[in-house]
Amino acid sequence: MNAGAPEQAGNSQVSAPPRRRRLFPPLRIWIVAACCAAAIFLIQSRELPGDNAIANVLTLIIGFVGCMTLIVWFLIFSDYGKRIRFWSFVLGLGLVAMMAAVLRLDTVSGELVPTFRFRWTPPRDTLLSVPDHAQQVSRIDLSRTTPDDYPGFLGKDRNLRVDHLAIDPDWSHRPPRLLWKHPIGAGWSAFSVVNGIAFTLEQRGNQELVTCYDARTGELLWSHDVLARHENFLGGIGPRSTPTVDGGRVYTLGATGKLLCLDGATGNSIWSDDLLARYHVDPAKEAASVQWGRAASPLIVDNLLVVPAGGPAGGPYVSLAAFDKATGKLVWQGGDRQVSYASPSIATLCGTRQILIVNENNVTAHDPGSGRVLWSHEWPGGSSSNASCSQAVPVEGDRVLLSKAYNIGSELVQISSTGPDQWQVGSVWSNRTLLKTKFTNVVMYQGHAFGLSDGSLECVSLADGKRAWRKGRYGHGQILGVRDLLLVQAESGEVALVAADVSQFRELGRFQAIEGKTWNNLCLYGSLLLVRNAEEAACYELTVSPAAGPT
């Protein structure tokens, strides 16, 4: 028996210990997930080159990688039963399919944060009927103007300032008082007001409308519609520009290039033009080259109406076109660049009156009488990518401030002239991290520029291009300077009152004015603050008094 024992032992097999079931991800998977989480934290907590939209896209991509790493491990490499993994996959796929069937991606914010709607919900602008062309016109008197008039884009002088009024800053005791609020057609147009009559542009279904309201009551007085519709997923639905009111007439430029001159008292057409047809632009190709629609607000210069013209994909382009404001006859053309989303403005530099315009990829100044280009300055941009929306702003000392987002920032240029056709443009300073104004413009006050820089309010010294402060979070909204105060329209629909203090940020009050994404400019007509977005419009009465003394 003892002799046979070794043989028995030699024939026996030693079994390996059972493998531990993989029910939790291994360390390397947790390391990947932790790195993704850390990267998201760093991206969201630090200021990156470009803008917050880029940070949000990176966050989405990194978050997707982290989640997919865990999902792939669970489905393929874990030791959960095949039935559990199979039905987990089917359930997850079913939830995604159900969400896709029920919800649709409706729009995105200025920082590319998406919002969703139920698929069976029609676009809001299609829920509003197209009103009659004229309703009540007897009360409309545009022959009379007032010091309070806000007759067009960015105000009377197109400088985002109202200095003849002083706002009571104590909103805690005397808050803005709601006068009216109601739905409105889609679009990013603002209000213009003359003698208590307000005008704007809006989209209702397939009709692009010029509408006229009583500013104090919100009552619709007349509308004028044309068959046109602009729609872009990132940019939204409807017209972008703001009406210009002059001499009892209302001048508008629609998102698809329809140029109108209307009788302000009745809404009847006096003359019209189609820029796309005039400049042989194919509408489908226009939607690719000027993706977010024609956005320039018409400029009145003497007896002319001036608008950016553009041209077919690949050119030739016309930077500006001037029409006789009374008849609509083309008077002159100037420049050779595609349009941007900025509007022309009038300035006097080096003692010479000139029209400034930010084009797709440069800035030009034009002689008002002939359209001849006086000077130009390269300014990077593309009207289907890193688009330019902000104005060229004249600054004391024959200087011009330029600003935009998309990692371009701001630049102050010096204009000089030694005689006719002897113009020079030099850079005083430039900084990619300052005044990254995506859809908005800057307000000048006490040698500083105030603007929403990638969604935060920023104050920058014009002398040296140094940041004084950057505070608050308002998103891609709009601002308006009222003497030593700033009205800030947040992208969320809130309105804030901020001191134009170059030494520190001080928010004095805020309230929820309207609901929904708000990219539209403010309008202040006397004590009436008119606000709107693509869904609703409202009017609030502020406590104001006539301003005394210089600003």
pLDDT one-digit tens code per residue, 329-385: 999 999 999 999 999 999 999 999 999 999 999 999 999 999 999 999 999 999 988
Question: Rounded to the nearest 10 degrees, what angle do helices 52-72 and 27-45 cross at?
Answer: 170
Domain annotation covers residue 430: yes
Q: Are 284 and 256 in contact (CB under 8 A)?
A: no
Same domain, 44 and 180: no
User: What is the residue-wise DSSP string for 191-204?
Assistant: -EEETTEEEEEEEE
pLDDT one-digit tens code per residue, 404-452: 999 999 999 999 998 888 999 999 999 999 999 999 999 999 999 999 9
Q: Are 481 and 445 in contact (CB under 8 A)?
A: yes
Domain annotation covers residue 138: no
Query: For 124, which DSSP code?
Result: G
- Which candidate, 64, 49, 41, places its Cα nearest to that of 454? 49
Q: What is the pLDDT of residue 81?
A: 85
| CATH number of the domain within which 427 lies | 2.140.10.10
Residue 137, pLDDT > 70, answer no
Going 390 to 392 to 308 to 524, the CA torsion angle's sign is positive
Same domain, 217 and 74: no
Same domain, 410 and 517: yes
Same domain, 405 and 526: yes
User: What are the start-end ranges of the E strands in 109-157?
Assistant: 114-118
- Which candidate, 244, 317, 323, places its Cα nearest to that of 286? 317
Same domain, 329 and 429: yes
Same domain, 207 and 346: yes
Domain annotation covers residue 46: yes
Residue with tokens 């315009």: 357
Same domain, 45 and 170: no
High-pLDDT (> 70) share of the chain, % = 93
Token duo for residue 198: 């307000």
Domain annotation covers residue 115: no
Same domain, 259 and 336: yes
Same domain, 89 and 152: no
Same domain, 40 and 182: no
pLDDT one-digit tens code per residue, 175-188: 999 999 999 999 99
Q: Provide the number of structural domains found in the chain.
A: 2
CA–CA distance, 364 with 314 (Å, rounded to integer):
20
CA–CA distance, 144 with 211 (Å, rounded to integer):
20
Q: Are 499 and 481 in contact (CB under 8 A)?
A: no
Structural domain boundaries enclosing 75: 21-104
**Whole-prediction pTM:** 0.90
Domain annotation covers residue 394: yes
Query: For 535, which DSSP code?
Result: S
Task: Give the chain's mean pLDDT.
Answer: 91
Q: What is the pLDDT of residue 340?
A: 97
pLDDT one-digit tens code per residue, 16-28: 566 566 678 888 8
Domain annotation covers residue 460: yes
Same domain, 233 and 292: yes
Q: What is the pLDDT of residue 156?
A: 94
**75 DSSP β-pair partners:** none
Q: What is the pLDDT of residue 7?
A: 47
Domain annotation covers residue 329: yes
CB atoms within 10 A of CB 392: 22
